[in-house]
Amino acid sequence: MAYELQKKFIIDTQDKSVGVSLPFTKGNNGFFAVTYTTKEQIKSDLKNLILTNRGERVMQPEFGCNLRQAIFEQIDEGGVYEFIQNEIETSIQRWLPFVIVNNIVVDSDANSKDNNRISVKLDYTLSFAGNNSRDSLNITV
């Protein structure tokens, strides 16, 4: 479990779970797979935020990104890529303010364009309780 020690450091212990890992899979204990570190859980939370469309989450209609709006748009270097970057940055600032976005790379190769897929690489820094930790996340939309 992640807990705060003297309001300075986040301590992760491997004997307590922090949260549920996404996407849902069966865990070793017979229920859902869980995360054991704050860093793992935040990566799972980011994936959940990015892949959830606004209006999908019960009681939180503003949660998520509207990336499904880009599904059938013309994939070009400008409009769709910029839209995806803006949606992700805006959602992260609102829902996960302790995640600082360093860089978002939106890209698709010729084969991905034919299949209407776009790759998103998110480089970010976790900034909470005096700790700064860099990580990255790759998602295909």
d(C-alpha 46, C-alpha 95), whole Å:
9
- Per-residue model confidence as pLDDT tens for the chain (141 residues): 444 444 444 556 666 777 777 777 777 777 888 887 788 888 888 999 998 998 888 898 999 998 888 777 776 666 888 888 999 999 999 999 989 999 998 887 655 555 667 888 999 998 876 667 888 888 887
Q: What is the pLDDT of residue 22?
A: 73
**Cα angle: 133, vertex 12, 92; to 5 degrees:** 45
- Spacing of C-alpha 8 from chain mean position: 25
Q: What is the pLDDT of residue 73?
A: 74
For the whole model, what pTM was predicted?
A: 0.78
Could you count the other beta carbons within 10 Å of the beta carbon of residue 16? 11
Q: What is the pLDDT of residue 115?
A: 63
Q: How many CA atoms lie within 13 A of 116 on its CB side?
A: 8
Do 34 and 17 touch, CB atoms closer than 8 A? yes
- 3-state DSSP assignment of residue 112: helix
Do 80 and 74 touch, CB atoms closer than 8 A? yes
Give the DSSP H or E segment for 108: none
d(C-alpha 49, C-alpha 43), whole Å:
10
- Cα dist from 44 to 5, 7, 8, 110, whole Å: 24, 24, 24, 29
